[in-house]
Structure formats: structure tokens, C-alpha cells
Amino acid sequence: MADTKIIKKYPNRSLYDTSQSKYISLTDLKQYVLEDTPFIVQEAKSKNDITRQVLLQIISEEENTGTPIFSSDVLRRFIRIYGNSAAAPFSTYIEQMSSLLDQQTRQFWEQLNAGQDLSPMTAWTEIANRNLGIWQETLDKLTQAVKKV
């Protein structure tokens, strides 16, 4: 990960991109995400990795300014899972599903740009079959976790 940008966050909440030697904003970090530019955010003094917290901050701002993705009910369900034996399988499931969605979206756009004939029914069937397999695997893990409680 030699080309991973190091972003330093200072106590005054300023973000500093060390690769460009300039201060940046959360909007710039969001753009890095959209461009798939690898980066980590570190506290300037301690060098602790705070990337997750900053990404959550970006999500929070997006939820407040744009069209929200998460309903209050979904967020409540997420909160209930913390500290629960289902947390690890749920986290794995969310990671797999978001990765799959990203992969499928990229694949769709590649096919579209290549001028391939896209049958919506075929595309949705493939997506549903893949998602069903992942869901079943995760459900099995959740069931095992609940049995242990």
C-alpha cells in the first residue's frame, strides 16, 4: 500500500493530506472514496488510526444533507446488534453485501459501456442467486451464534 495517502487530523479538526502537503476537507476525503483512492486518517500526535471514525462522520453528514439511506428503524437495529453475539456474523454479512453491491454495480457499468446487451431479468436473476447464497450462509452463522447464547 505504498500509494496510500496519509491524512493527519489535528485537534482543531483540520485534515492535512501529507502527499499533497495541504489542508483538505471532508468533501475532499469523500472524493477520495468516490475515486477509490486509498487513504488512512491518523491523529496527528498519537498517529492512532481514526479512519473509521472519519468515514462515519462523512456518512453522518451525507445522511443529514442528502437523501438518507438509513431509516431510523434501521439505525436502531444496528445499535441493538452491538455487543450481541450476532454482531460478528452481521458485520460479515454487511461487508459481503456491500462488496457484492459494489462489484455488481461496476460489472453493470462495464457491460453497459462495452455495449453488451443487458437483459434486466437475467441481471436481476444473477444478483438474486448470488445474494441468496450469501444470505443463507449468514443466516446459518446467525442461527449458530444465537444457539450459543
The most confident of 55-59, 89-93, 130-134, by mean pLDDT: 55-59
3: buried, middle or exposed (CB in 10 Å: 19+, 13-18, 0-12)?
exposed
Domain regions of the chain by residue span: 5-65, 72-148
Q: What is the pTM of this model?
A: 0.70
Element (H or E) spanning 22, and its range? strand 22-24
pLDDT surpasses 80 at 58: yes
